[in-house]
Structure 1
Amino acid sequence: MNARKLSVLLLACALGISGFQSSTSSSSSSAPKASWKPIFNGKNLDGWKIKIAGYPLGENFGQTFRVADGILSIRYDQYGDNFNNRFGALYFGRKLKNYRIKVEYRFVGETAPGAPVWGFRDSGIQYLGQSAESMELKQQFPVCVEYNLHGGNGKDDRPTGELCVPGTYVEFAGSRNSQFCTPPDVKKTFHGDQWVTAEIEVRDGKILHFVNGEQILSAANAHYNPEHEFGKVFAAKDPGIILEGFVSLQSNSHPIDFRKIELMEY
């Protein structure tokens, strides 16, 4: 092969490699990236479903869930003098898998009359949960994993973000949870009516809790609990790791506001 032919061949190879790299780079950069999208429109409850214990799906007893001035409020001023265990939840309308959800919340006002003692400044974000349609009429809480929202009383520590397991169980560092609610590793108490940002990431069996952008808890491998009254029904059908489910916001007896709810799907 003479020098001229060799030069042409080397140039062709170089152009081919360059074109391949350019094509690969272009393909990679065009891949969609996960981004935050609002799932509460600030105007109404479109895209959400209501289920309150003792009432049929869709009945918003006492206007428990209401929207005004861009804020989703949970209230009990029409419950009379007895909360009477009428726990409820507002469900996002579709099942989710591999996502991160972010809410801004604040506790306000006084606990409803007749509420349990633990109901003071207590609510929750329920995830990996059963559907609203599968809830029994008088069932108080869905089978799910929960990010427990807590508010302080002005003086004592009462950290937010513990993980609770109604009808499920999870693993911490490879071991099954030893208590119903597991406190976060990083403890943050928020007093008064200040706005707080809570986030949950669920991805390929891994679970992370955040507050104001800081990771506070890590867990993994949620399963349905075969020893739980309602969990056993789901465990019989699906004994493996729970990878998807519904997200809902609790109505737990203390007034609470949400002003932003966003979702990022992977």
Structure 2
Amino acid sequence: MGHLKHALSLAVGLAALAVPAAAGEVWKPIFNGRDLTGWTPKITHRPLGENWRNTFRAEDGVLRVVYDQYDTFKDEFAILIYRQPLANYRLRLEYRMMGPGMPGAPVWAVRNSGVMLHGQAPETIALHQRFPVAVEAQFLAGAPGENRPTGNVCTPGVTVSIGGTPMAEHCRNSSSRTFPEGEWVRFEAEVRGSRVMRHWVNGELVMEYADIRLAPAEFPEFAADPAAVGGQAGAPVESGYISLQGEGHPVEFRRVEVLELR
């Protein structure tokens, strides 16, 4: 009986970590597996809409970020932006890192990608801007023996609070384990305006934060005119655009879906 109680307690605990399911949920695929319909590329130093050197590709049901037409990486940080801004939703996808990384990419970009949430409007992104103003759910993969959690939070041009305390650092690691290059990882985010965001990795809740606010001073393009990206510094960020990242290391995405919430 003691073993049974322990097993039931463990099962209940694990169930609490899983993303809650509801009857009648209607998830909407936002990547069709065939092409980039509904998505717009923005690559640093290139105009909005130019898929420079075929960086983003749809092949065999997978959305790929690849660099086989590059000789070297020269600050071409890339995002692929979904067409519709959203405020309250759940996003789920699978990703995997694929090596090797590009010569010329920064050391921190090795096995590094992510999905941007509540991103600024595409037409406001400056030509030479490296990253959008957004909340980044950061994806990392680790080498053997390396401790490198995934599903982290980073804050380009915004601030967030964790446990009621403003996060001072640019990135905060989640509680996830480390995943190797080449392994598919399931990620899900719950986004409820500026109030709360949660990250799950393979069904386990690994990060929760709240109070998302605009803080674009780190971007020279917007330091003097924060209204260009949605309001004055300190304004709540209630909605925005989803985008998938390319930072110089090949990465693949599949099964990208959204469930809108009330």
- Scaled by the length of structure 2, what TM-score is found? 0.85
Deviation at 1:37, TM superposition (A): 1.3
- Mapped to 2, the partners of 1:36 and 1:226 lie a distance apart of 33
- What CA distance in whole angstroms lies between the structure 1 residues aligned with 2:179 and 2:247? 18
**Partners of 1:165 and 1:194 in 2: CA distance:** 26
CA RMSD of aligned residues (A): 1.6
1:187 Cα deviation (Å)?
Answer: 2.6
Separation (CA, whole Å) in 2 of partners of 1:33 and 1:177: 37
- The match for 1:259 among 240, 243, 254 is 254
Shift in Å, 1:35: 2.2
Give aligned pairs, total. Answer: 233
Task: Give the superposition deviation at 1:236.
Answer: 7.7
Q: CA deviation at 1:126?
A: 0.4
Q: Quick one: which of 53, 61, 73 aligns to 1:83? A: 73
| Structure 2 runs not aligned, ≥5 long | 1-22
Residue deviations 1:18-76, cap 9 Å, x none? xxxxxxxxxxxxxx954211100000000001100010111111100011111110001
Q: For 1:60-99, what aligned pairs fall within 5 Å after superposition?
A: 60-80=51-71, 82-99=72-89
Give a deviation string over 1:223-255, Cα, whole Å, max 9, x none: 011532256414782443211000100111000
Partner of 1:263: helix, strand, or coil? strand
Residue 102 of structure 2 aligns to a residue in which SS? coil
How do 1:21-170 and structure 2 match up within 5 A?
34-80=25-71, 82-170=72-160
Q: Is the 8 Å Cα contact of residues 53 and 70 (structure 2) preserved in structure 1?
A: yes
> Contact (CA 8 Å) 1:34, 1:265: kept in 2 or not?
no
2:243 aligns to what?
Answer: 248
Change (3 A) 1:231 1:99: farther
Q: Secondary structure at the match of 2:240?
A: strand
Task: Give yes or no for the alignment of 1:181 onto 2:171.
Answer: yes
- TM-score between the two structures when normalised by the length of structure 1: 0.84
Bigger-Rg structure (1/2): 1
Shift of the alpha carbon at 1:94?
1.0
For residues 202-221 of structure 1, what are the structure 2 equivalents within 5 Å? Answer: 202-204=191-193, 205-221=195-211
Give the ranges of 4+ consecutive aligned residues of structure 1 lying more than 4 Å apart after TM superposition: none
Aligned to 1:21: none
Cα deviations across residues 145-183 of structure 1 (Å, max 9, x unaligned)? 000000011221111011000000001111110100011
Matched with 1:190 is 179
State percent identity of aligned pairs. Answer: 40
